[in-house]
Structures are given as structure tokens and as C-alpha cells.
Amino acid sequence: MNSLQNSGFPEIAKLLIIHADDAGLSHSENMATIKSLEKGIVNSYSIMVPCPWFYEMAIFAKNNPHFDNGIHLTLTCEWGNYKFGPVSPASEVPSLVDENGYFYKTREELRKNASAEDVGKELQAQLEKAFKFGLKPTHIDSHMYSVGANPEFFKLYRDLGEKYNLHVLINKQMMEMVGLNPALNIEKTDFLIDKTYVGEIEPFDKDGLRDYYSGILENVTNGLNLILIHPAFDDNEMKGVTMNHPNFGSEWRQTDYDFFTSQTTRLKLKENNIRLVTWNNIQNMRNVMTTT
């Protein structure tokens, strides 16, 4: 289960993936993600297939295969006035939707209502839609880590990675965050991210996250680290999408974009001997190891 032993990178290295979640959520999210990849130090992103702006981001992914991308498997929609539902017809996955045909807002509602059969059907439908579009993802991850709402859902998530030969984002902290016991749900063959960092509401309310992110970079430890961000612009579109939702809201997402496209942040990587890697880098290294 040790990520560095399985990847071929030296254990003394500070390895970091800076990953943009939620591409496809909105036009603003897409534009900020693209600029973060092209001008910043963001080196990975994942796309939400069920969202209205999937098409725009999928076109970018097809035209720019050098950027590492994954599929952000989606089972929940947390926003108050901005809604989306399954790729599958709602009649085929009825336990995943509310009375209006949209995904539930919370993991708790998903846990209470969803059947494993419907979850498996919808997750596969999202991947199949991406593949049919011509996308070639390097990994899968999960919006709100909702696949951890139930051990059965998590197993389906892992099995999809094996079926399609994709890395799967598995991390003890994220499992604990959603109430999934790592000791009972991590298998010996799982490839793990050692440490995952996500913005938190307390430092956002206090300082706006810049000092929080700086502290992360200054204290990155040896191993495979992941910073999950959500870049978008603090514009009218994102204000509408994230209305009454300050955590991961439009101001938060603008901060993510600003911090991870700044030259100051780029210099922090060098100052702290941090090496950027992608899911694709790790896969290539593992391929070399298994053939030598």
C-alpha cells in the first residue's frame, strides 16, 4: 500500500500533484482551470461528466492530451439553485435522484437513499460517456468523495479503476472525512496518496486561504502529496452557482486560481524542494518497473 514503493520514486522525495477538481461545472470553472494549467503550476484536473459545461472541457481535454486529466465521478450536487442529475435516465437509477430528478445535495442523503446497483450503473455510465467522447483519462476521483458514503459504493469505485486500468484516488484522510473506515476498506493492492490537502473553512474565514496554502507548501513532507483545489473566477456566473455556499464558493475559487498561478507560489516549490508529478508520471514509472 506504500505509494512510493509502488511508484518507483525515491522515498526521500517531496512529490506533489496540484489537482483542479470540478472542471465542467461551469464556464467560469473551465476557463480558470485551463488558465491554471497553461500559466500556473496546476498539473492535473478532473472533469464532471454530468454537468452542463462538460462538453466545453471535454473538447479542451481532447485537444490538449499533454495535460493530465481524470474523471470526477459525481453522485451529489451540493448547490442550492444550480442543479444537475445523472447521465443515465433518472428512471434507470431512481434511488440516486430527488423528487425533481436531480442528485441529492449531501452524502448523507445519498447514503440513506441510493442502492449499490444504481450507483454502479451511473458511475459506469459517466465513464462510458467520457470514453465515447474520446477522452483518455489517467485516473478517477470522486466529487465530494461521495463514493465513500457506503463501503459498497467504494468497492464499485475501486473495481472501475481495475476494469478500465485507471488510477483510483484512495487516501485515508479523505475516507475518514466521509466516515469510511480505512482499516476495513483499504486493500493490500491499493495505490495510496500519502497525504491530501483541501482548503478549510476556518482559515478561509480568517485570512482567505493564502497563508493556509503557503503553510502547506512550506511543510510538505516526503512522500506522494496531493493538493485539491477548485479554481474559478469570482464572477456573476460562479456567484450564482455557489449562492449561499461560502465554503468552495466563488471567492474561495478565485483565491485558488490566484494563488496557484502566482510566481510567488511557483518559487515556493523550488524553495521547498518540491517535485511536481502527475498521475501519468506515476503510471509510466510503474510500467517501467513491471517490465524490468
Please tell me the distance from the alpha carbon of residue 93 to that of residue 89, in angstroms, as a whole number.
7
Q: Is the dihedral of CA 62, 19, 110, 192 positive or negative?
A: positive
- pLDDT digit string (tens) for 257-267? 999 999 999 99
Lookup result for grid cell 472525512 = 177
CA-CA distance, 55 to 59, in Å (whole number)?
A: 6
Phi-psi group of 180: left, alpha or beta (phi > 0 → left; psi -120 to 50 → alpha; rest → beta)? beta
- Residue 3 has what pLDDT? 61
For position 142, which CATH number holds? 3.20.20.370
- Beta-sheet pairing, 223-229 with 14-23: parallel
- Residue-level pLDDT at 282: 82
Region label for 209, one of left (φ > 0), alpha (ψ between -120 and 50) or beta (otherwise): left
Residue 292: predicted pLDDT = 46
The reported pTM is 0.94
Number of H helices, E strands in the chain: 14, 8
Mapped onto helix, strand or coil, the DSSP state of residue 75 is coil
Contact 255, 44 (CB under 8 A): no
Residues of the chain with pLDDT under 70: 1-12, 284-292
pLDDT at 280: 87
Q: Which residues contact 282 (CB under 8 A, 6 or more apart)?
A: 7, 9, 167, 224
- Considering its fold, how many domains does the chain have in total? 1
At 117 the pLDDT is 98
Contact between 135 and 62 under an 8 Å Cβ cutoff? The reply is yes
Give me the helices (H) in the chain, please.
3-7, 27-39, 54-63, 107-113, 116-133, 151-164, 172-177, 182-185, 201-207, 210-218, 236-241, 250-259, 263-271, 279-291
Find the domain containing 193 and state its range. Answer: 3-291
pLDDT tens-place string over residues 111-165 = 999 999 999 999 999 999 999 999 999 999 999 999 999 999 999 999 999 999 9
23 vs 130: CA distance, rounded Å: 13
d(CA 218, CA 201): 20
Q: What is d(CA 249, CA 64) in angstroms, rounded to the nearest whole number?
A: 28
The sign of the CA dihedral 262, 267, 268, 273 is positive
